[in-house]
Amino acid sequence: AQSVTQLDSQVPVFEEAPVELRCNYSSSVSVYLFWYVQYPNQGLQLLLKYLSGSTLVESINGFEAEFNKSQTSFHLRKPSVHISDTAEYFCAVSDLRAQKLVFGQGTRLTINP
Amino acid sequence: DSGVTQTPKHLITATGQRVTLRCSPRSGDLSVYWYQQSLDQGLQFLIQYYNGEERAKGNILERFSAQQFPDLHSELNLSSLELGDSALYFCASSVEGNLYNEQFFGPGTRLTVL
């Protein structure tokens, strides 16, 4: 079965600093990979996804993630964060056999001014 | 606003009771997913319905059940409630039941069992 590990439960950074949120997955078959963001008191929103093709995927608000098959990773990066990026970020992998998304435990990103 | 609505927003009840959570998917979406989010378990997939039929089952307890109606709205029934059932319950919908389709999440129902 697929599993997802988000290596950091909390990541504090200063505003305008770069950030990387780490995600590793385990799977023996082809996967679809996702990053979701949950702003305070809201539901989850899709940030970006990898289905196939280019291994670097980007979101509209400056985040990007790179699919690395050899390292089974899908880390999320942003070169310069803003206060509004404060949220919890969830990495997810598709479990095609069980027909479900498997989510990581989440990483809480806090931005300090 | 994702277009997915959930009611009620908050629910406070006692152990042993039964509650029903309701979800209306985005217009045109045939698939509905239910998730439970708690501090100790994280975000757990419970169950998926596609066009009225159960499509996939996750970590759903036997005390919990769900259904999707002909108008595509869905209800999650939780019975014999325990303290540990206190959590945020999310509904999500997608156009089809395939995993590469984006799932749109509702705002959630916060259930507190006292």
| pLDDT at residue B102, rounded to an integer | 83
- Smallest Cβ–Cβ distance between A101 and the set B4, B45, B107 belongs to B45
One-letter identity of residue B89: Y
Mean pLDDT of A105-110: 96
| pLDDT at residue A113, rounded to an integer | 86
Residue that wins the pLDDT comparison between B36 and A42: B36
Beta bridge partners of B35: B45, B90
Which chain A residue lies closest to B43 (C-alpha atoms)? A103
Residue B59 clears pLDDT 90, i.e. is over it: no
Q: Chain-wide mean pLDDT for chain A?
A: 91
Nearest to B36 by CA among B21, B26, B50: B21
Kindly provide the b/e burial profile for residues B85-106, where b requires at least 16 CB atoms within 10 angstroms of the residue's own CB: bbbbbbbbbbeebebeeebbbb
Across the interface, do A90 and B56 touch by the CB < 8 Å criterion? no
Which chain B residue lies closest to A32 (C-alpha atoms)? B100
| pLDDT at residue A101, rounded to an integer | 86
| pLDDT at residue A40, rounded to an integer | 87
Residues in A closer than 8 angstroms to B107, CB to CB, are 42-43
Q: Determine the residue among B23, B93, B100 to mutate to test chain A binding: the one whose Cβ has the most chain A Cβ atoms within 10 Å.
A: B100
Residue B67 clears pLDDT 90, i.e. is over it: yes
- Smallest Cβ–Cβ distance between A46 and the set B56, B102, B106 belongs to B102
Residue that wins the pLDDT comparison between A73 and A53: A73
Across the interface, do B48 and A99 touch by the CB < 8 Å criterion? yes
Beta bridge partners of A49: A34
Pick from A55-69, A92-106, B58-72: least confident: A92-106
